[in-house]
Structure 1
Amino acid sequence: MAEAIHDSRRPGPTDGTPYTGVIPEPRHTALGPDGHYTLGPATVLDAGPGAEGAARWLRAVLGAATGFSFPPGDGDGGADGVLRLTVDPADPLGPEGYRLSVTETGADLTGGGPAGLFWGAQTLRQLLGPDAHRRAPLPGRTWRLPLLAIEDAPRFRWRGLLLDVARHFLPKEGVLRYLDLMAAHKLNVLHFHLTDDQGWRIEIRRHPKLTETGSWRARSKFGHRASPLWDERPHGGHYTQDDIREIVSYAAERHITVVPEIDVPGHSQAAIAAYPELGNTDVIDTSALTVWDNWGISANVLAPADTTLAFYEGVFEEVLELFPSEFVHIGGDECLKDQWKESRAAQSRIAELGLRDEDELQAWFIAHFDKWLSARGRRLIGWDEILEGGLAEGAAVSSWRGYAGGVAAARAGHDVVMCPEQYVYLDYRQDAGPDEPVPIAYVRTLEDVYRFEPVPPGLDEEQARHVLGTQANVWTEVMEDLARVDYQAFPRLAAVSEVAWSELPAPAERDFGDFERRMAGHYRRLDALGVAYRPPGGPHPWQRRPGVLGRPRDGAPPDG
């Protein structure tokens, strides 16, 4: 059998600059002379203080792919050389930066902290070739690293992915898989959208009906909400508190922070179906409500009552015990105010508080939890609608309706995560072709995502420092299973990772051709990882959804 050699040294761009095929692209790469370092059964792994986590991860993934054991070394190396892992807190690249040097006798990987070392380990794995991402060794493989030196560090501290598990539940194993995929792309924040009108996904022990009733719906709309099709099967599921602890721990081992989202005061019909007293009982008979089986924005929102605040304080107390993240997301978006306008109780609360209108009532609701979270050492973050009626002190903003919310928040001195729908909503269709499954909104191609710039124009240097970073949002109304999530997320999530990590030029000056060339190799990595991505030439026949109505929109998106 002919020997398959895994060699990451690819033909370089026409200008002769170094080219390694790594995604996201490192800050600086210098290729050495021709030649390679070849790993073998006797390769040792020498881990210094602070490097234990990265060493454990490398042994697990590279051991599975190569069949080598990578025993501990004493610094001298074995017959097949050495992989040295070092943490150097004094490194000017910072705690998430790393340096990788490969010679003919081994590889030295140094991180400014354990996180930087882990990101460098991801680069090393990529350089070994696509089959380094498999879970068992294939015959006839030789594992080579090119001789090179890399210096790398991220541009942004928040490099995220929102995973909506409320509309379509993603079992725990699917979440763990996505944490691995995030780590492979150096993404470090999982925004975990746990509650919505269509389902409540987290166990709250003092309020058991939230999952007993609120975690499942009788049926689901199939396609856009205007579609005549229904999936008549009950849909549901939730994570126990031990499931959440496992997810958070698994993420932490991969230097990923899990930020929970518990939506208030809108997107709350599942909670009201479980506990009708949470709703506006003087407007409708909330006891007749069920978990919503359709998509869109429900008119059923939380009542602005002290009992509602106390109920959610109890929810957040348990949430804080499970998630150690600095930020807690409270939603705050798309809260229809029709019931508040009709509710005597809500109008009395507006008068009692001396507020002008329902927008200020929502701001009061958000401000209550901003103060409550701050008193417990946490920070509130919400969608840009929390700007309406006045932004709570200390709150951060997820800017989704374009750049405007992010600009307003940053100019007011608030931190911002940029996730404008015009670029990084991955439920939006990827092509205008008729075979695109359940086409939603505007076309957002791989190139469109690659040319996204997270720092809004018009911010001065001080204001721009409030941009914590960016994230892609995967809303799952039309994603009924993991394969559909894969199709919508990839390959565009690879572009998001480069936008979030790499120091790229202005959008018009970015070399998308080079990114496409690197993606040619990256598709093979995704194949090895079992990702059901959208092929560059269009969907496979089994990825199409003929006859399932979407909601395509033509032209360029506004504020894009």
Structure 2
Amino acid sequence: MLCGRLNHHTSDEWEVPVSTDVKSGCPGGNARPRRSRLGGLVTALLLLGAPVSSAGAAEQGGAAGSPPPVTVPALSDWTPETGQYVYERGARLVADGRAERHVADTLADDLRAAGHGTVPVVSGGARKGDIVVDVSPGRAALGKEGYELRAGARLSVTAATEAGAFYGTRTVLQLLAQGHRLPAGRTVDVPQYEERGVGVCACYVHITTEWLENLVRDMAYHKLNQLLLELKVKSDAHPEANTWGYYTKDEIRRLVALGEKYHVSIVPEINSPGHMDPWIENRPDLQLTDSDGNKQPSRLDITRPEAFAYYTSLMDEYAQVFTAGSWHMGADEYMLGSDFAKYPQVLEYARAKYGADATPQDAFIDFVNRVHSYAADKGKKLRIWNDGLTGANTVPVTAGTTVEHWLDVATKPSQLRADGHPLMNAAYALYLVRGGFHSDTKGLYDQSWDPRSFEGEKLASREGITGAKISLWPDNGRGETENEVAEDTDPALRHLAQATWGPPHPDATYAQFTARAAAVGHAPGWRDLTRVPVANGTYTFRSGARSVTAEVERTPDGYVTLRAANGCLEVRGGKLTLNVPLQPGVEVSEQACDDANTLQRWQLAPVKGGYRLVNAITQMAVHVSDGGRLVQYPPDQRGAAVWKVTAA
């Protein structure tokens, strides 16, 4: 994965990466690419494929006719001026109001993390070389998230809101990532869509909080503002539901706080009434029963008042840690692999409530609408997926429910918009599935895809469309590691940022757009999670009386395999969920080595006294049982073994 984070330097040149060959050592934990020492503006022109008349353009710094500086999303409005802004020692952040101070404090943190030194935040008059943050509510034309940036003797960011000023500072960081001399000029930069997002199903499988923190930082750096998380929070009210894959409330509080700092709204989802097995597999009383008497662990029985009470109690518990103004209930694939005919009680429920002409689908919509009402009473707006809206209902979905459209079904986006539903584009074309379908980002870019292009219909205007998002799903949980998912997601994230903020095709070719993305790199504070703390070789791992001697070899995605005397260490056994052994207590054993088997990949996590050994897929750590067996457990259930590692 390209680092793109460039060194603090005082030369007259912008340094832009020209190779993906990386090594460790970037400020803020990023890898450092080799780079070309071309003049900054000349390099930017080369990246964009524009003609370059002479190297003297860099010295002119913003002469008439020079292109906009390189950012993602691209600046669609740029007025060049004569001169340049120089960031150097002694620069200050000038912020006079409370909102300005919030933005400046975050920028100061990020400048330090990016290796640009410690910059004081001050109030009062600005001087040459300062960065000025100004929130002026009277600048209504900038909207909720737009900003104006001026570069000259000083660098100034002006916005009508704190969020707008924050996004202006993301542009500042991207420019400083390429060098400390910026061409003089002015831009007014306003997003085209309100919601610009990423959806992550940290459902069933567990995704590390470090990975999610990287995602939040990179989202904000590229001006994305909404993260949907379908996940399980460990429940105090329903301990019977605490099968692995959960997050503790403290983990979520820390992630939400990071999102608030970086203006990323983290919207929680508990999928219902389908895909409920993570919550009700141990609650047969809440499971829908088919006509043959078979319980359905993935389907909530929407005809039972106890089921609604159970679901809303989970909503209340999530409200303890999530602060977003929206709640996503999923509402997708309730009858996946079956149909309502096998559940006659659903039709009976619908007719008893809505009359003889009611359909089973009306019972489903009734459940959605009751959740909508409950969420509204708590000050939350409801979001659902679109595939359950087949048109086979007589009861309408409550107006104002946001519909995230991913699948082409009978009820088209235009109809949803006409019915009063805010519409988000979550097209399947934007999906990345572990071990399965991956979005064709190059193809979408070449087609100038934008959020008006839904599955099955393209709308003529942006009216009623809130925005778009990419979606990450773990359908084959062992198909890829989360480090591989991060690498695959990177180009899709940057493309989505471009298509939702500004024009979808700012560069003539996709190669030029990816060069633009490489130039700005990753966000300050982004951590390289592919680093391995020990070199390849043979080591003895010792925890108490238990020891294992194994050959350690780094994998391309930044984990290690452990080849012991009788094979490679692997988690194997127990019930598989999404092709992954997710039960605590499953044994770690030596199996025939297979480079493609992700269950044989391990993370060496440094801790006091040694290392924890964490499986790359299950995200459970190795525990040594009383009998000396190696078994996996979540970190809050059994203490992970601490391994002292010595060269054998």
* Shorter-chain TM-score above 0.5: yes
Which residue of structure 2 lines up, in the alignment, with residue 203 of structure 1?
234
1:392 paired residue among 385, 392, 397:
397
Map residues 365-376 of structure 1 onto 2, 5 A cutoff: 365-376=367-378
Which residue of structure 2 lines up, in the alignment, with residue 316 of structure 1?
315
Residues 103-132 of structure 1 deviation map (CA, whole Å, 9 limit, x = unaligned): 1x32111122111111010001111125xx
Which residue of structure 2 lines up, in the alignment, with residue 557 of structure 1?
none
Which residue of structure 2 lines up, in the alignment, with residue 185 of structure 1?
222
The answer to whether the 8 A contact 2:302-2:367 is kept is no
Which residue of structure 2 lines up, in the alignment, with residue 446 of structure 1?
442
Match of 2:431, as an amino acid? Y
Q: CA deviation at 1:349?
A: 2.2
Mapped to 2, the partners of 1:322 and 1:270 lie a distance apart of 19
Q: SS state of the match for residue 314, structure 1?
A: helix
Match of 2:316, as an amino acid? E
Residues 209-264 of structure 1 deviation map (CA, whole Å, 9 limit, x = unaligned): 222x3xx2xxxxxxxxxxxxxxxxxxx3x222232222222111111111111111
Alignment of 1:418 with 2:416, yes or no, is no
1:467 paired residue among 465, 468, 474:
465
Which residue of structure 2 lines up, in the alignment, with residue 258 of structure 1?
266
Which residue of structure 1 lines up, in the alignment, with residue 551 of structure 2?
none
Q: Which has the larger radius of gyration?
A: 2
1:407–1:445 Cα change, 3 Å? same
Which protein has the bigger helix share? 1
> Please, what TM-score do these two structures have when normalized by structure 1?
0.76
The answer to whether the 8 A contact 1:40-1:68 is kept is no
2:104 paired residue among 52, 55, 62:
55
Mapped to 2, the partners of 1:22 and 1:358 lie a distance apart of 51
Q: CA deviation at 1:160?
A: 0.8
Residues 21-70 of structure 1 deviation map (CA, whole Å, 9 limit, x = unaligned): 1110123112223x432222211111121211211111111123335221
Match of 1:352, as an amino acid? A
Which residue of structure 1 lines up, in the alignment, with residue 184 of structure 2?
147
Q: CA deviation at 1:482?
A: 2.5
The answer to whether the 8 A contact 2:422-2:465 is kept is yes
2:508 paired residue among 499, 510, 513:
513
The answer to whether the 8 A contact 1:86-1:110 is kept is yes
The answer to whether the 8 A contact 2:138-2:160 is kept is yes
Q: CA deviation at 1:344?
A: 5.4
- Flag structure 2 segments of 5+ consecutive residues without an equivalent: 1-6, 16-39, 52-64, 531-553, 559-593, 599-648
Q: CA deviation at 1:531?
A: 6.6
Which residue of structure 1 lines up, in the alignment, with residue 379 of structure 2?
377
Alignment of 1:455 with 2:452, yes or no, is yes
Q: SS state of the match for residue 322, structure 1?
A: coil
Q: CA deviation at 1:321?
A: 3.7
The answer to whether the 8 A contact 1:406-1:418 is kept is no
Match of 1:520, as an amino acid? A
1:333–1:28 Cα change, 3 Å? same
Map residues 69-88 of structure 1 onto 2, 5 A cutoff: 69-77=118-126, 81-88=129-136
Mapped to 1, the partners of 2:252 and 2:463 lie a distance apart of 32
Q: CA deviation at 1:187?
A: 0.3
Higher relative contact order (CA 8 A, sep 6+): 1
Match of 1:42, as an amino acid? G
1:124–1:511 Cα change, 3 Å? closer
Q: SS state of the match for residue 330, structure 1?
A: strand
Which residue of structure 1 lines up, in the alignment, with residue 518 of structure 2?
523
Q: CA deviation at 1:147?
A: 1.6
Which residue of structure 2 lines up, in the alignment, with residue 97 of structure 1?
146
Match of 1:188, as an amino acid? N
Q: CA deviation at 1:97?
A: 0.8
Residues 282-303 of structure 1 deviation map (CA, whole Å, 9 limit, x = unaligned): 655659x6xxxxxxxx6x4545
Mapped to 1, the partners of 2:521 and 2:344 lie a distance apart of 56
Q: CA deviation at 1:72?
A: 3.0
Mapped to 1, the partners of 2:407 and 2:528 lie a distance apart of 29
Which residue of structure 2 lines up, in the alignment, with residue 137 of structure 1?
none
The answer to whether the 8 A contact 2:272-2:331 is kept is yes
Alignment of 1:25 with 2:59, yes or no, is no
1:30–1:318 Cα change, 3 Å? same
The answer to whether the 8 A contact 1:26-1:153 is kept is no
Map residues 221-240 of structure 1 onto 2, 5 A cutoff: 236=245, 238-240=246-248
Match of 1:516, as an amino acid? A
Measured on the aligned residues, the alpha-carbon RMSD in Å equals: 3.2
Mapped to 2, the partners of 1:333 and 1:548 lie a distance apart of 31
Mapped to 1, the partners of 2:189 and 2:271 lie a distance apart of 37
Mapped to 1, the partners of 2:413 and 2:157 lie a distance apart of 37
The answer to whether the 8 A contact 2:108-2:121 is kept is no
Alignment of 1:126 with 2:150, yes or no, is no
Q: CA deviation at 1:151?
A: 0.9
Residues 63-107 of structure 1 deviation map (CA, whole Å, 9 limit, x = unaligned): 2333522123444446x621111101111111211111111x321
Instruction: Give me the identity figure in percent.
Output: 22
1:542 paired residue among 556, 562, 570:
556
Mapped to 2, the partners of 1:304 and 1:41 lie a distance apart of 67
> Please, what TM-score do these two structures have when normalized by structure 2?
0.66
1:74–1:333 Cα change, 3 Å? closer
The answer to whether the 8 A contact 2:221-2:522 is kept is no
The answer to whether the 8 A contact 2:334-2:388 is kept is no
The answer to whether the 8 A contact 2:227-2:266 is kept is yes
Alignment length (residue pairs) = 472
Q: CA deviation at 1:488?
A: 2.2
Q: SS state of the match for residue 6, structure 1?
A: coil
The answer to whether the 8 A contact 2:81-2:185 is kept is yes
Q: CA deviation at 1:392?
A: 1.5
Q: SS state of the match for residue 173, structure 2?
A: helix
Mapped to 1, the partners of 2:325 and 2:388 lie a distance apart of 19
Residues 297-351 of structure 1 deviation map (CA, whole Å, 9 limit, x = unaligned): x6x4545311101111111122234333232111111111747533454454244
Match of 1:159, as an amino acid? R
Mapped to 2, the partners of 1:393 and 1:475 lie a distance apart of 28
Residues 500-549 of structure 1 deviation map (CA, whole Å, 9 limit, x = unaligned): 00044xxxxx454256324314225436845799xxxxxx9936998689
Mapped to 2, the partners of 1:271 and 1:67 lie a distance apart of 47
Which residue of structure 2 lines up, in the alignment, with residue 409 of structure 1?
416
- Flag structure 1 segments of 5+ consecutive residues without an equivalent: 131-141, 195-200, 217-235, 290-297, 429-437, 505-509, 534-539, 550-560
Q: CA deviation at 1:468?
A: 0.9
Q: SS state of the match for residue 193, structure 2?
A: coil
Which residue of structure 1 lines up, in the alignment, with residue 334 of structure 2?
335
The answer to whether the 8 A contact 1:400-1:420 is kept is yes
Q: SS state of the match for residue 25, structure 1?
A: coil
